[in-house]
Amino acid sequence: MTFIEWITEMPPISSEWKSVVSSTIKLSRNIKDIPFHKNVSIQEQRTINKLVDESISLWNKENDNTFLVCPLTTLTNGDIQALREYGIDIPNIEHRESQKLYLSKDRLLVILTNGIEHITLWGISFEADITQIWDKLSRLDTWLAQKISFAFDNEFGYLTASPLIAGTGMEIRATVFLPGITNVNQMDNLSGKLARSGYKISKLRNHFYFIENSFSMGLKEETFCNRLEEVQKNIEFIEEKAWNSFYDINQQQIKDKIWRSLGIFSYARSLNYEETLECIAWLYIGMRFNILPIKDRLLFYKLLRLAGPFYVEKKIHKEEMSENDINTWRAVLIRDVIKEMSL
From the first residue on, what is the mean pLDDT of each consecutive set of 10 residues in the chain (343 residues)?
Answer: 89 80 93 91 94 97 96 92 91 84 96 95 86 93 96 87 84 91 89 84 87 73 83 89 93 96 96 95 90 83 93 92 96 93 71
Q: How far, in Å, CA of 37 to CA of 114, rounded?
A: 7
171 labelled as ligand-binding?
yes
Three-state SS at 137:
helix
Q: How many CB atoms lie within 10 A of CB 230?
A: 11
- The reply, when asked if residue 199 is annotated as ligand binding, is yes
Residues 75 and 4: their CA atoms lie apart, in Å, by 10
175 annotated to bind ligand: yes
pLDDT of residue 19: 87
pLDDT for res 37: 84
**172 labeled part of a ligand binding site:** yes
Question: What length is written for the chain?
Answer: 343
Q: 111 labelled as ligand-binding?
A: no
For residue 343, what pLDDT is reported? 66
Instruction: Say whether 196 counts as a known binding-site residue.
Output: yes
**Phi-psi group of 309: left, alpha or beta (phi > 0 → left; psi -120 to 50 → alpha; rest → beta):** alpha
Q: Is 24 marked as a binding-site residue?
A: yes
DSSP 280: H
Beta pairing, strands 109-113 & 67-71: unpaired
Residue 82 near residue 314 (C-beta atoms within 8 A):
yes
Q: Is 76 annotated as a binding residue?
A: no
Task: Break the chain into its structural domains and give their ranges.
Answer: 3-238, 250-340
**What is the reported pLDDT for 197?**
79
CATH code, 3-238? 3.30.590.10
User: Do 118 and 34 meet the contact criterion of CB atoms below 8 Å apart?
Assistant: yes
Given this model, what pLDDT does residue 129 score?
A: 77
Phi, psi of 159 (to 5 degrees): -90, 130
> Cα–chain-centroid distance for residue 69?
20
Q: Is 195 annotated as a binding residue?
A: yes
174 is known to lie in a ligand binding site: yes
In the prediction, which pLDDT does 1 show? Answer: 83
How many other CB atoms are there within 10 angstroms of residue 209's CB atom? 22
